[in-house]
């Protein structure tokens, strides 16, 4: 029987016996960039596509401003 590590925050009813270790490890190793958006902002940007589109637009504005300066 495997030795189980006890974690004070882990409840006994959690069952990871059918879990796959390292399932997302390769994707995670490629890099992650998690950003938490405040609730008032999510009203305007409800998903990652809308956030990316807004940031790309802002990037273009910044590029134009730098050319002027």
pLDDT at 1: 40
Mean pLDDT of 44-58: 94
Distance (Å, rounded) from C-alpha 66 to C-alpha 69?
5
Q: Does residue 20 carry a pLDDT above 80?
A: yes
- Sign of torsion, CA 49 52 58 64? negative
Mean pLDDT of 42-66: 94
* Domain ranges across the chain: 38-69
């Amino acid at each position: 029987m495997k030795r189980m590590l006890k974690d004070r925050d882990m409840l006994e009813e959690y069952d990871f016996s059918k879990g796959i270790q390292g399932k997302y490890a390769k994707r995670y190793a490629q890099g992650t960039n998690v950003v938490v958006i405040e609730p008032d902002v999510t009203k305007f940007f409800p998903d990652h596509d809308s956030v990316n589109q807004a940031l790309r637009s802002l990037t273009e504005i910044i590029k134009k401003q730098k050319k002027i300066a």
